[in-house]
Chain A
């Protein structure tokens, strides 16, 4: 029964679904997998202990926290917010693209934000909605919903596909650490550089997508300040 070795993955999935404590779930998955594969308890302790210490690199980003904390104390987030607030008189689509660009840039410079709570809800979504209401007077409920979803998406896509371009992001360090454990010695800086193309591609795709959204809204609601309601269901 080779398959029984996959029990660790099942444990992780169940643990994550039931939202049990993540660290404990991972350790239990490791313990059970080791035991069913015939590794003794002491050996499991040694493998995990050694592997954890050898992968300290993955948590090296803690060393950047005091600088980021100080920058926050002296107004890092306020200034980032100020910059975004200056971008007025944009269409919804352009605003979405601009935010994703800013988000990718922030990820590159390791500005740690919880974008959905800090930017999307209080700033991005209101500005995106305001831009379309200003332009078309009236926007239907279904399009308001789409714009909301797009605001959240521009945060997620900007965050995910640009975060590894920062040399000390935990994803980049994990890639380097895992490869090293598997016998390939690679530099996190090289990983960060190899992550740049996909960040740019994600930005270009989103920009195209947002441009098409603007066009679609233009077609549906007509140009500036025409309160025609054609195409409504």
Chain B
């Protein structure tokens, strides 16, 4: 066999794989759907769950959107989504009992496995990057495939039964809980805001004092917009969808900035805002209470100089690196 025919074969395989990326992704979404439906099943089987029907419905609805999203009509998906909102609004979604072993047992396993315990987690990161870099499948399929592969390795390494795997999946899904779908919901909100023209209103507002065509001023507006909106909302994810549509796209990316670099830096710029806002209670007020500090804003005070320096660095980095 000569080299050319090998090359030809490989490029055919590569084209075939690339063509089927949507199917691969759909397969992983169906897996996530089944994972969510399994949690619904566990909730239903539990005897003294505080909100059994509501919580089970919540996971069933989500499971349907994940596993069947492609075939369910868009309006029906929307209705299901509002169903989820009504369930959480009425506080019908609650964490039930989840099976978890004791800290002592975990200590014992830790001394048995030592640093080998980190192998599956490390494998996950490396496999995903490897698939993204060296195969035509891309980063999204890479994540799904790496998740499945590292799970297999973990099951072999720990000699874990499928039953244990399922109960751990359930435990993690329930612990992540309804908060876990918030980023996806915020992404959907961003799409609706764009359709409703919210981004246009913000960009009109900004263009009142930001001259279009100036890359540096655009970058400053994008970074500061992320910081300020994150401080107001206490959540960089919510700010990202709005500010990227309103400022990032028209004033930075449309002027030639790399959307990968600009987007990555805009998000962490928002996190600089998180360091300075009492709205992010989990990160700033919670530790002050946990550490029994005298000043409830002591953590914010200590973080602010660092946050200000990081804002300047974000502006410089986006300006020089993204263009």
Where the two chains meet, the residues of A that have a C-beta atom closer than 8 Å to any C-beta of B are 2-3, 5-6, 8-9, 12-13, 16-17, 21-24, 26-30, 33-34, 37, 39, 42, 44-79, 82, 108-111, 116-117, 120-121, 125, 145-146, 148-153, 155-157, 160-161, 164, 166-168, 170-179, 181-182, 184, 186-192, 194-195, 197-198, 201-202, 205-206, 209
Contact = CB atoms under 8 A, between A and B. Distances in A.
A108 B36 CA distance: 26
28 contacts: A13-B233, A21-B89, A28-B85, A30-B189, A44-B192, A45-B77, A51-B188, A52-B65, A52-B78, A52-B188, A53-B69, A60-B29, A65-B173, A66-B169, A66-B172, A73-B100, A73-B101, A74-B109, A76-B121, A77-B106, A116-B283, A153-B303, A155-B287, A167-B139, A171-B237, A172-B264, A197-B321, A198-B314
Interface in B92-122: 100-101, 103, 106-115, 117-118, 120-122
Please indicate which of the listed interface residues B69, B125, B196 has the most CB atoms of chain A within 10 Å of its own CB. Answer: B196
A49 B196 contact: no
B29 A156 contact: no
Given A46-B75, A57-B25, A174-B237, A152 B263 contact: no
Given A148-B293, A174-B240, A60 B144 contact: yes
B293 A209 contact: no
Please indicate which of the listed interface residues B110, B138, B233, B237 has the most CB atoms of chain A within 10 Å of its own CB. Answer: B110
Contacts of B202: 6
Given A65-B173, A160-B271, A44 B78 contact: yes
Contacts of B168: 66, 69-70, 72-73
Contacts of B72: 49, 53
Contacts of A47: 74, 78, 191-192, 195
Interface of B: 25, 28-29, 31-32, 35-36, 65-66, 69-70, 72-82, 84-86, 88-89, 91, 100-101, 103, 106-115, 117-118, 120-122, 124-125, 128-129, 132-133, 138-140, 142-144, 146-148, 150-151, 154-155, 158, 160, 164-166, 168-169, 171-173, 176, 178-198, 201-202, 204, 232-238, 240-242, 244-245, 249, 253, 259-261, 263-268, 271, 274-275, 279, 282-284, 286-288, 290-291, 293-295, 298-299, 301-303, 306, 309-310, 313-314, 317, 321
A64 B290 CA distance: 30
A164 B266 CA distance: 12
Contacts of A55: 184, 187-188, 191
A44 B81 CA distance: 11
Nearest to B281: A19
Contacts of B188: 30, 48, 51-52, 55
Contacts of A64: 124, 143, 147, 150
B147 A78 contact: no
A140 to B, nearest CB: 13
A111 B121 contact: yes
Given A12-B233, A192-B129, A198-B265, 11 more contacts: A13-B233, A30-B193, A63-B35, A64-B147, A73-B109, A78-B110, A148-B293, A152-B288, A179-B244, A190-B139, A198-B314
B122 A161 contact: no
Nearest to B35: A62
